[in-house]
Chains A and B, each alone.
Chain A
Amino acid sequence: MSQVAVGTNYINATKGLKSWLTTLDHKRIGIMYLLFIAISFALGGFFALALRLELLNPGKLLFSAKQYNQLFTLHGAIMVFLFIVPSIPASIGNFLLPLQIGAKDVAFPKLNLSSFYLYLFGAIFCVYSMVAGAADTGWTFYTPYSTTTDTSVISMTLGAFILGFSSIFTGINFIVTIHKMRAPGMSWFRMPLMVWALYATAIIQVLATPVLGITLLLLVIERVAGIGIFDPALGGDPILFQHFFWFYSHPAVYIMILPAMGVMSELVTTFSKKNIFGYKMIAYSSLAIAIISFLVWGHHLFVSGQSDYAAMIFSLLTYLVAIPSAVKVFNWIATMYKGEIDIKAPFLYFLAFLFLFCIGGFTGIMLGSLSLDVYLHDTYFVVAHFHYVMMGGTVMAFLGGLHYWWPKMFGKMYSEGAAFVAWLFIMVGFNMVFFTQYLLGTKGMPRRYYSYLDQFQPLHAFSTSGTWVLTIGFLIMAFYLVESLLNGKQAPDNPWGGLTLEWKTQSPPITENFLDTPIVDSDPYEYDKVKV
């Protein structure tokens, strides 16, 4: 048993900047990630605002074509590598995983801290690329454009390469933590579904990210020495690059969405006060998604000139990966049945996720079908689709999780009223921006266009105006969250009536997480047996 003075927690246990920079506490590392992920999101969002502004009219408004290309490259690369891939696992996941399984820390705390510093180190490369003639390749770095353009591709690629290792080390840490650090009695099927989701995510991180690493390394050396594997001028094959790239980047989509689905499972049970419907189905579907996600990357290459056989296989398998996702959605809805639904801010984001992710999913079915994809590929339809899944899915879940665990992280409550207003702005703004882009895509508007035909202007202008509404929503959120840190009401240990282990310790938790190692003797969501 640990001896802890009353009022001590992981935040005030030790003081000073140095105590944070050298901390091995998973909670502090999670919070530091959170800070830098928020900064990255703001930066990526700023670029998005700028490039949408440029698209207000056809032709030049503020930026040249080259600057516009750099803007969308930076927006994509920052949002993917610095924000969304680490968003839920590295920040919320780091904070939460040991708490949810009743452990004192992750298995390798020093590795965890080095992951964080690798993240910072990679971020520095990306920022350097930004000031030293930003890359204009798009975040996909397709060859041979990326091997021939004169912008600073190498620093951006090296940045992504290093960020990849940060992600790999987080994945290794989580796998070992989940295998070896569970509290007594916490069998695999007593783990919260968030832990299952993080586990499935970690599997993908460990298996897919090395291939991205080698791909980016090959690209760097291609530029430096001309290895020629991806360069058609030297006898190489640009389609091979696309295979390499998407072998990581398609599973990476599930690195982004799986933890989000984990958050959803937590939110729906807690705010419906209901045991989850289909626990095993949800747990297994996470694993199924993780594995099948490796078999579908070729659906990014339907018109690229890959063989028709490959296209056929990839399309077929793409439909198989859609099923487990659909199963999860149905399970969440069934969970609400006969519950006691408390519509608080986190639950609002649950609803937002459900609404937006379904739209993203249905349009994904269109893109997965071969003949239809030929028409829609590389149009705004694709842009809208992945923003609905990534932003409408992952970001909404991230915000839901942030609001849900905020009291646990900081011991402070935020204003529910302000949260509702921000949510409203975000929902309206998001749909203004991106639903419009579905329409643009069906009309045949190609993506990554600096200028466009006059007839597309009304839709583009409407989409751009939506970005401002969206921005207002995020500004309100930033304001009330910071406000809560300063003047927020003290949070109780369990403000929402959650049953998982993190709610059984104080808010914020002590450095060692629990006074005594918890002993688990029940399933995670037995709301019918336990009354909170």
Chain B
Amino acid sequence: MSDVKNHKVHSVAHHFANAGHEFESAKLGMWVFLVTEVLFFGALFVAYAFLRWAYPEMFVEAHHLLDWRMGGLNTLILITSSFTMVMAVRSAQVNQRKQTSAYLLATLVCAFGFLIVKYLEYSAKFHHGYLPAKFFTGQAVSEHIHLFFGIYFMMTGLHGVHVLVGIGLIVWLLIRNQKGDFYSDFFTPLEMVGLYWHFVDLVWIFLFPLFYLVG
């Protein structure tokens, strides 16, 4: 079932004992990196919780200004992309290079889809002036409503930046895969980017209900 004929043989860096050692080290490094990401986003969630606690009525009012259909659509897109990503890694594990590329491409399409929806949402908010306080020109349906959009743009914006970085990484993976870098004994970059991408999905899983569903 393998369609890999002439892949490049990966050479292990000089300070590692062997490929397994290298893979395990990289993976541990990635998990520890995700730990920092948890705290990075986590702090924002604490800020969100504080604001929500301080201005509960305002949050109810404000969340109606977001379109849950858009958020829901993006949730489905990201979940699907997580699936295609994990399938890309798996295809490399079983030496299916073409499938890996196909799944990576699908992930990329999802990522762009997510950003397009996000763009539509953002431009609507810009149009209505629902922005952080310094640029807020919208109708203040509730006092302090600028706080909602402050934290909304902060959190979804930072998440969006992560999606952008992810797109760059996936493009890089595609190129390397086309060159034949990945095969059953070496797919470390795929696995690492995969973990990162799932984490981006994970953050959205919380952002979606907190902003779009429960005001």
Report if A244 contacts B (CB, 8 A): yes
How many B residues have CB within 8 A of the partner chain? 41
Most buried by B among A229, A244, A247: A229
Q: Write out, one digit per residue, whether chain A residues 313-354 have a CB within 8 A of any chain B CB (1) or not (0).
A: 000000000000000000000000000000000000000000
Contact segment of A30-38, A100-108, A358-366, A445-453: A100-108
Known: A227-B132, A240-B50. A180 touches B43 (CB 8 A): no
Q: Write out, one digit per residue, whether chain A residues 209-238 have a CB within 8 A of any chain B CB (1) or not (0).
A: 111011101100100111111010011110
Note all chain A residues with C-beta closer than 8 A to B132: 221, 225-228
Give the contacting residue for B154; candidates A103, A207, A218; CB below 8 A.
Answer: A218
Are B36 and A214 neighbours in the complex by a CB distance under 8 Å? Answer: no
Known: A227-B133, A227-B154. A105 touches B39 (CB 8 A): no
Give the contacting residue for B39; candidates A111, A211, A221; CB below 8 A.
Answer: A211
Q: A172-B33, A227-B154 are known contacts; what are 12 more A-B pairs with Cβ within 8 Å?
A: A104-B15, A107-B29, A168-B36, A172-B36, A173-B29, A181-B15, A211-B39, A211-B40, A225-B134, A237-B50, A237-B54, A247-B43
Interface residues of B in 110-163 (CB under 8 A from A): 131-136, 143-144, 146-147, 150-151, 153-154, 158
Note all chain B residues with C-beta closer than 8 A to A175: 28, 32
- A-B pair count, CB < 8 Å, reads 120
Note all chain B residues with C-beta closer than 8 A to A210: 36-37, 39-40, 43
Report if B35 contacts A (CB, 8 A): yes
Note all chain B residues with C-beta closer than 8 A to A217: 158
Report if A179 contacts B (CB, 8 A): yes
Cα–Cα distance between A265 and B37 once the two chains are bound (Å): 33
Report if A206 contacts B (CB, 8 A): yes
Give the contacting residue for A176; candidates B32, B46, B158; CB below 8 A.
Answer: B32
Note all chain A residues with C-beta closer than 8 A to B154: 218, 221, 227
Note all chain A residues with C-beta closer than 8 A to B14: 104-105, 512
Known: A214-B40, A244-B43. A227 touches B28 (CB 8 A): no
Report if B7 contacts A (CB, 8 A): no
Cα–Cα distance between A111 and B15 once the two chains are bound (Å): 14
Interface residues of B in 39-89 (CB under 8 A from A): 39-44, 46-47, 50-51, 54-55
Q: List B residues at the A interface (Cβ < 8 Å).
A: 13-15, 21, 24-26, 28-29, 32-33, 35-37, 39-44, 46-47, 50-51, 54-55, 131-136, 143-144, 146-147, 150-151, 153-154, 158
Report if A138 contacts B (CB, 8 A): no
Tell me how far the C-beta of B58 lies from the nearest C-beta in chain A, rounded to whole angstroms: 9
| A-side interface size class | 35 or more
Note all chain B residues with C-beta closer than 8 A to A172: 29, 32-33, 36
Note all chain B residues with C-beta closer than 8 A to A512: 14
Are A226 and B25 neighbours in the complex by a CB distance under 8 Å? Answer: no
Are B55 and A235 neighbours in the complex by a CB distance under 8 Å? Answer: yes
Are B150 and A228 neighbours in the complex by a CB distance under 8 Å? Answer: yes
Are B150 and A180 neighbours in the complex by a CB distance under 8 Å? Answer: no
Known: A107-B25, A172-B36, A214-B40. A234 touches B15 (CB 8 A): no
Report if A109 contacts B (CB, 8 A): yes
Are A215 and B36 neighbours in the complex by a CB distance under 8 Å? Answer: no
Give the contacting residue for A105; candidates B15, B32, B133; CB below 8 A.
Answer: B15
Are B133 and A211 neighbours in the complex by a CB distance under 8 Å? Answer: no
Contacts A/B (CB < 8 Å), 24 sampled:
A107-B15, A107-B29, A108-B25, A172-B29, A172-B33, A180-B21, A181-B25, A206-B35, A211-B42, A213-B40, A214-B40, A218-B154, A225-B134, A226-B133, A226-B150, A227-B132, A227-B150, A228-B132, A228-B147, A234-B144, A234-B146, A235-B55, A236-B51, A240-B47
Cα–Cα distance between A451 and B153 once the two chains are bound (Å): 43
Note all chain B residues with C-beta closer than 8 A to A247: 43
Tell me how far the C-beta of A7 lies from the nearest C-beta in chain B, rounded to whole angstroms: 22
What residue of chain B has the Cβ atom nearest to residue A172's Cβ?
A: B32
Tell me how far the C-beta of B8 lies from the nearest C-beta in chain A, rounded to whole angstroms: 19
Tell me how far the C-beta of B26 lies from the nearest C-beta in chain A, rounded to whole angstroms: 8
Are A235 and B144 neighbours in the complex by a CB distance under 8 Å? Answer: yes
Q: Write out, one digit per residue, whether chain A residues 83-119 have a CB within 8 A of any chain B CB (1) or not (0).
A: 0000000000000000000011101110100000000
What residue of chain B has the Cβ atom nearest to residue A229's Cβ?
A: B47
What residue of chain B has the Cβ atom nearest to residue A174's Cβ?
A: B32
Cα–Cα distance between A306 and B44 once the two chains are bound (Å): 20
Note all chain A residues with C-beta closer than 8 A to B150: 225-229, 234
What residue of chain B has the Cβ atom nearest to residue A209's Cβ?
A: B36
Are A180 and B24 neighbours in the complex by a CB distance under 8 Å? Answer: yes
Are A108 and B29 neighbours in the complex by a CB distance under 8 Å? Answer: yes
Cα–Cα distance between A218 and B158 once the two chains are bound (Å): 11
